[in-house]
């Protein structure tokens, strides 16, 4: 299956701090930029951080219960390979990133079993990274 790259622009109230995080912690390649925004290669997709005053969403997250955890809403992320996910989890721990939901296996033994983890970027945007050992489970019911 071939997918078209998506474009996602997110608000950050501190461009230099967010830029450093996405470049150095997540190790995303930087594209075009100016003082107000920065493009990143988010696993083949275009993620743009845009300067914006702090929002209430960045201070106070709503949550929905999923598999016994409070999942922050809104959030975004990507489905990685199992090996990429394990490497990212180790890198985040090495950088002392505080997890909203620690890395674990969700829906263990059920349809849609997946590795997942959640954290906030320095400006309060929630990210989820997940992986499936069996990619056919991505949309399993």
Domain 1-52, CATH number (from 3.10.180.10, 3.30.565.10, 3.40.50.2300, 2.60.420.10) = 3.10.180.10
The full length of the chain comes to: 141
- The reply to whether 62-141 shares the fold of 1-52 is yes
**How far apart are the C-alpha atoms of 128 and 53, rounded to whole Å?**
23
Whole-number pLDDT of residue 76: 96
Q: 90 - beta bridge partners? A: none
Write the DSSP assignment of the chain as a string of letters: ---PPPEEEEEES-HHHHHHIIIIIS-PEEEEE-SSEEEEEETTEEEEEEE----HHHHS-EEEEETTEEEEES-EEEEEPHHHHHHHHHHHHHTTPPEEEEEEEETTTSTT-EEEEEEE-TTS-EEEEEE-SSGGGTT--
List per-block mean pLDDT (blocks of 10 residues) for the chain, which spans 141 residues: 90 97 98 97 97 81 88 94 97 97 93 94 96 88 81
Whole-number pLDDT of residue 53: 92
Whole-number pLDDT of residue 67: 85
Tokens representing residue 61 in the block: 């997250």
Whole-number pLDDT of residue 1: 61
Are 54 and 14 spatial neighbours (Cβ–Cβ below 8 Å)? Answer: no
Would you state the CATH architecture of domain 62-141? Roll (3.10)
Q: Domain segments of the chain: what residues?
A: 1-52, 62-141
Whole-number pLDDT of residue 30: 98
């Amino acid at each position: 299956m071939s997918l078209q790259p998506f474009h996602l622009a997110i608000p950050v109230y501190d461009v230099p701090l967010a830029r450093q995080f996405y470049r150095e912690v997540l190790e995303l390649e930087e594209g075009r930029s100016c003082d107000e925004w920065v493009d990143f290669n988010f696993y083949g997709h275009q993620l743009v951080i845009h300067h914006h005053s702090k929002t209430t969403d960045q201070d106070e997250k709503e949550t929905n219960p999923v598999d016994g955890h409070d999942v922050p809403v809104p959030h975004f992320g990507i489905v990685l390979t199992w090996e990429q996910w394990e490497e990212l989890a180790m890198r985040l721990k090495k950088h002392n990133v505080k997890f909203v939901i620690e890395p674990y296996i969700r829906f263990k033994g059920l349809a849609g079993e997946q590795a997942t983890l959640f954290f906030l970027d320095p400006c309060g945007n929630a990210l989820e990274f997940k992986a499936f050992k069996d990619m056919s489970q991505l949309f399993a019911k």
